[in-house]
Structure formats: structure tokens, C-alpha cells
Amino acid sequence: MTTAAQIKSDFTKLPVGEQIELLCELWNDLAREPGAVALSDDQKRALERRYERHLQHPEEAIPWEEVRDSIRSRRRES
């Protein structure tokens, strides 16, 4: 039987790109089931603070299209 320590050891031997790809696949598997990945209390508080900040300063919000275009631009440059 494979242990968690062996899995971690094998994981760290992978190139970084493959590590990221595997992490994404694992996360997607976890996220398929609603409620499977619960937020911690710290994460909930951080989201609440960000939401309150948005309500107080909605003019600071960046439109999705602008964020998307910025990400795409950075990906093309790298």
C-alpha cells in the first residue's frame, strides 16, 4: 500500500509544471462534490472583509473583462 509520505516524495520528484497540473486535477476531483471543500473560518472572515470593502468602495472593482485580458496578456508574454 502506498503511504502519504511515499506519494509526497514521488510528487516532489515531478517537474513543477507536472506538479501544478496534478494539483489542479486533484482539486477539480475534490470540487466536483458540492460542499466537499469547506471554507475555514479564516477564509470566511477574509471573504466577508473583502465583500464589505467592495460595498464601501464599489468604484475600486475591476471589470471581469479587464482582469481576463490582463491574465491573457501575461500568459502570452511568458
Q: How confident is the model at residue 38 (pLDDT cuts 50, 70, 90)?
A: confident
Three-state DSSP class for 39? Answer: coil
Residues 6+ apart with CB under 8 A from 30: 36, 37
Reply yes or no on whether the pLDDT at 71 is more than 80.
yes
Q: pTM here?
A: 0.51
Geometric angle at alpha carbon 15, from 39 and 31, rounded to 5°:
25
pLDDT digits over 4-36, tens only? 999 999 999 999 999 999 999 998 998 888 788
Domain definitions of the chain by residue range: 1-38, 40-78
